[in-house]
Chain A
Amino acid sequence: EAQVTQNPRYLITVTGKKLTVTCSQNMNHEYMSWYRQDPGLGLRQIYYSMNVEVTDKGDVPEGYKVSRKEKRNFPLILESPSPNQTSLYFCASRTRTGGASDTEAFFGQGTRLTVV
């Protein structure tokens, strides 16, 4: 089954304690992204990757890091989480056709993070 898998689904942590949210896709997609969803703000892109070892900032990258060492995996790292990073996070992947901007994005189930 084609899917994007995020772990964990729920996480409560304390301010300053480093954490990693994992994301893996089994569709051999080139493009992967991380979004955060906040009430009244919709989804905002944090970071994206267009292929292995190619990553770039999205609209709200402050406080986050990513890496793309393998095509299937795109972990999101919070080196020193703060309460304003409490949010619902989604990983997504897309295949690359001529340009990829017309293709469907496949989303993970989401990770609900609470930083206290």
Chain B
Amino acid sequence: AQSVTQLDSQVPVFEEAPVELRCNYSSSVSVYLFWYVQYPNQGLQLLLKYLSGSTLVKGINGFEAEFNKSQTSFHLRKPSVHISDTAEYFCAVSDQRGGGNKLTFGTGTQLKVEL
């Protein structure tokens, strides 16, 4: 079984400032890692994912995340945020063994970008 922890339920930040959204996971097997974004009144869409290889993953809208196996973390970062980045962000994991259809989500982090 897997679990995902997003310790920050809300993160306020000023426009053009950098931001980091934290994600830690727990699993007895190897996992794939994802970040999804949910804009107001919309469904979730994929920001980026880590499958293997380079631990620094770049996604859409200038976001990137770094996989740290020893710390079981997959923190999301953006060097300079924009008002349009205001949304809820979800970290998720799935079992690498495959054959399944389960994404385990964290509880989400609400990013609020202020002028």
Contacts and interface: CB of A to CB of B under 8 A. Distances in A.
Interface of A: 4, 31-33, 35, 40-45, 48-50, 58, 90, 92, 94, 98-102, 104-105, 107-110
Given A40-B9, A101-B32, A48 B101 contact: yes
Contacts, number: 78
B97 interface: yes
Contacts of B108: 42
Interface residues of B, number: 29
28 contacts: A4-B43, A33-B102, A33-B103, A40-B107, A41-B107, A42-B4, A42-B6, A42-B90, A43-B105, A44-B105, A45-B103, A48-B101, A90-B43, A92-B44, A94-B101, A99-B96, A99-B99, A100-B99, A101-B32, A101-B100, A101-B102, A102-B49, A102-B51, A102-B96, A104-B34, A105-B46, A107-B44, A110-B43
